[in-house]
Structure 1
Amino acid sequence: MTPPRGTGMPLPPLTSPVRMIGGRRFDFAREIAIMAIVNRTPDSFFDQGRDFELDRAVESACAAAAAGADWVDIGGVPFSPDTPPVGEAEELDRVLPVITETARRSSVVISVDTWRPEVARRAIAAGASVINDTSGLHDQELAEVVAGSAATLVVTHSRAAPGQHLRRPQYGDVVTEVRQFLADRVNLAIGLGVPEDRIVIDPGHDLNKNTQHSLELTRRLSEIARLGLPLLAAVSNKDFIGEATGLDKPDRLAPSIAAAAVCAWQGARILRMHDAAAAAAAATMIETIAGFTAPVYERHNLN
C-alpha cells in the first residue's frame, strides 16, 4: 500500500530501512516501533523505583510487550547526575536477571540502556539485541563490543560524560549542532566496525539541553532524520513536556503522545514511551493516516 497523495508526511531517506533486530523484521520506511521503558533503579526520574524489584521489572517488561511494545529498554543506572553513582557490578546485577527472564518469557526485542562496554557485552550474551548508549559513545570500546555481535547500536547526542551535569548548555543552532554530532559519531561507530545497517540515532531530547532546545529539536526533527538512519525519539514525560504544559509527571501522557506524534510525522521511527498501550495505539493511527497500513475495519457511511 503506497502512501496516499497529500499526506504531507516526510519520508526519511533511509539507507537501510529494513532491519532484522532480535529476530524480528522492521521496515522503518513504513513502520513505527514502540520502545517501552523498564528502569530497574530505586530513583528513576519518572517511576521513582516502581520496577526496582526483579519480579516487578520482568512483569513490566512482559506487560509492555503484551500491550503493543516492540522493544523494551531496560536500564540499571539513572541518567540524572543528581542520583547516587552506580558501579558496574551493581548495574550488571540489576539488568542481567531482567534480560534473561524477559527473553525467556517474551519475544520482545530487548534493549539495554548502558554506556559501559562490559555491561553491553554481557547484556548481549544474556539476550539483548539493542545497546542504547545515551552517552554518545563516551567509551569507544562500547562500539567495538557491538561490532563483534549482531546487536544494534543507538547513538545518542549527549555533550556531557556519564554522571556529569552540564549546567546552562549553550548552542548556536541546536539542530545543526546535534545533526553534526550524530553524523560524526555514526562515522566513528562505522570506523570501529559497527555496520551502518545496525545503527539507530537519537537526538537526545533534554540530555544536556534546556526546554527551548528540546522544543526546537522537535519542530525541526526532519532535519535530523535526513541523516538517513532510523531515528529514535525519547520524549516521554520529560522535563520539556512538563515545562511546556505546566503538568506534573503523572499527568503528562497526552502531551507526551502529542510530542511523539510530531516526531513520528517528521521521520522518527522508534518512539521510547512509558505507556506502551497508548503509544502503540497512537503509532497505529499515525501509520494509518500516512497510508502505511489500512484501517482495521471500515463501516462508517458505507451502508
Structure 2
Amino acid sequence: MTEALCQGAPHGRGVGVPAAGTPLVLRGREVGRGPDGALRPVVMAIVNRTTDSFYAPARLTDDDAAIEAAHRAWAEGAQILDVGGVRAGVGPEVDAAQEIARVVPFVARVREEIPDLLVSVDTWRAAVAREAVAAGADLVNDTWAGHDPALVEVAGEAGVGVVCSHTGGAVPRTDPFRVEYPTVDRPGADPRDGLVDDVVATLRAAAARAVACGVPAGSVLVDPTHDFGKNTWHSLHLLRRTAALAGLGHPLLMALSRKDFVGETLGLPPDQRLSGTLAATSLAAWMGASVFRAHDVAATRQVLDMVAAVRDEAPPRAALRGLG
C-alpha cells in the first residue's frame, strides 16, 4: 500500500462538498488554524454573568466559578469566550453600569489568566463595548442588530471584530410574537426564502457598514441569529439555507446551542437539547459555517472535528485501522 493511499488525498473540498467557510481573523490572528496547517471551525464558549439565563449551568455570577469555566473551555478546545451580562430575553432591567460591572472586570481577568483565549463581549450597548474593549475584548457580539448604531463604531475605532446579526427589527430583550416575513414567488424558489432574502440583505448591509467604520473584513462575523425575531419554522429554514449565508463572504457565526427552536422541534427543555444542538451544528458546519457559539465545548469540538474530516479539510487524529 502506498503512502498516498495510507494518508488519503490532499485536503480540500471533495465532489459534492459545499464551499468552505470564510476564515475568521481577530487582531491580525487567523483563528482556527491548527498545528497541521488545517483550518477548522471555531468554538465560541459561553459564560453568562447573569442570574437568569435560560440555561441554568451557564449562570456564572461567582467570579471564581466563571474563571474556572473559562479555563475549562480553553482546555476543551474553545478559542473564543463570549461573555454576557444581560439575559437576551425578557427579564429584570439591567442598566449599562450594572452590565459593565458584571462583564468588564471579568474580561480583564480572563485576558490576564488565559492570554491566548480570545474574548468576546455579548452586548448591544456601545458604552459597554467601549469599556470591554479597553479591558482586552477582541470581539463585540451585537446580538440585537445595531440597535445602538454607535456600537460598530466602537469596534471600528479599536480595530476589533464585530458580529452583525438579524432580528427582523426586534428591539433588545423582546420575544417574537406572530413574526412574518414576505414570501417569494420566483420560479423554482421556496416561498419561505423571503426570510432568507431578508436575512441576507440585512447582514450584507450591516457588514458593509462595519467595514466602512474600520472593522477589518475578516473580523466581521455575520449571524442569522436563530430565535431572535423568528419562530421555530423560521429558524429551521435558516439552518437549511446555511450555505447561502456562508456565501456572504464573511465568517458565519451560528448560535444554535440549546435554543428554543431546537427544544420546540424535539419537545425538550434546555437541559435535554444537546443532541439536537449537535445535529444542527453538524449540518451548519457541513454547509460552511465558521464559528459556533456553544454551551458544551468538548462535544461541539468533537462534532466539528468529525465534520472537518468528512469534508476532507483535516486528517484523522490517528488512522491505524487496517494498516498494521
> TM class by shorter-chain length?
over 0.9
Contact residue 22 and residue 110 of structure 1 kept, 8 A: no
Give the superposition deviation at 1:71.
0.7
Matched, 1:248 2:256: no
Matched, 1:89 2:110: no
Give the superposition deviation at 1:138.
1.3
Contact residue 18 and residue 27 of structure 1 kept, 8 A: no
- Would the alpha carbon gap of residues 13 and 62 (structure 1) be closer, same or farther in structure 2, given more than 3 Å must change? closer
- Higher mean C-alpha displacement, 98-107 vs 40-49: 40-49
1:268 — aligned with what? 289
Give the superposition deviation at 1:20.
4.0
Matched, 1:32 2:53: no
**Partner deviation per Cα, 1:8-44 (whole Å, 9 max, x = no partner):** 3211474xx3624485644599420000100010000
Matched, 1:203 2:224: yes
How many aligned positions are there?
299
1:19 — aligned with what? 25
Give the superposition deviation at 1:192.
2.7
Gap regions ≥5 residues in structure 1: none
Question: Aligned partners of 1:292 and 1:184: how far apart in 2?
Answer: 31
2:80 — aligned with what? 71
| Amino acid in the other structure paired with 1:103 | R
Give the superposition deviation at 1:286.
1.0
**Partner deviation per Cα, 1:235-274 (whole Å, 9 max, x = no partner):** 0100010111112211111110110111111111001110
Contact residue 26 and residue 161 of structure 2 kept, 8 A: no
**1:96-175 maps to which residues of 2 (within 5 A)?**
96-106=104-114, 107-158=116-167, 159-172=169-182, 173-175=194-196
Matched, 1:231 2:241: no
- Structure 1 stretches of 4+ with a deviation exceeding 3 A read 20-30
- Would the alpha carbon gap of residues 301 and 12 (structure 1) be closer, same or farther in structure 2, given more than 3 Å must change? closer
Counterpart of 1:284 in 2: which secondary structure? Answer: helix
| Amino acid in the other structure paired with 1:248 | P
Give the superposition deviation at 1:85.
1.4
- Would the alpha carbon gap of residues 267 and 53 (structure 1) be closer, same or farther in structure 2, given more than 3 Å must change? same
Q: CA RMSD in A?
A: 1.9
Contact residue 199 and residue 229 of structure 1 kept, 8 A: yes
**Partner deviation per Cα, 1:275-296 (whole Å, 9 max, x = no partner):** 0010111111111111111111
Give the superposition deviation at 1:135.
1.0
Counterpart of 1:201 in 2: which secondary structure? Answer: strand
Name the TM-score, length of structure 1 as normaliser: 0.93
- Would the alpha carbon gap of residues 271 and 18 (structure 1) be closer, same or farther in structure 2, given more than 3 Å must change? closer
| Amino acid in the other structure paired with 1:73 | D
**Partner deviation per Cα, 1:92-116 (whole Å, 9 max, x = no partner):** 0000121111111112111000111
Name the TM-score, length of structure 2 as normaliser: 0.87
| Amino acid in the other structure paired with 1:102 | V
**1:51-62 maps to which residues of 2 (within 5 A)?**
51-62=60-71
Contact residue 22 and residue 109 of structure 1 kept, 8 A: no
Question: Aligned partners of 1:272 and 1:194: how far apart in 2?
Answer: 21
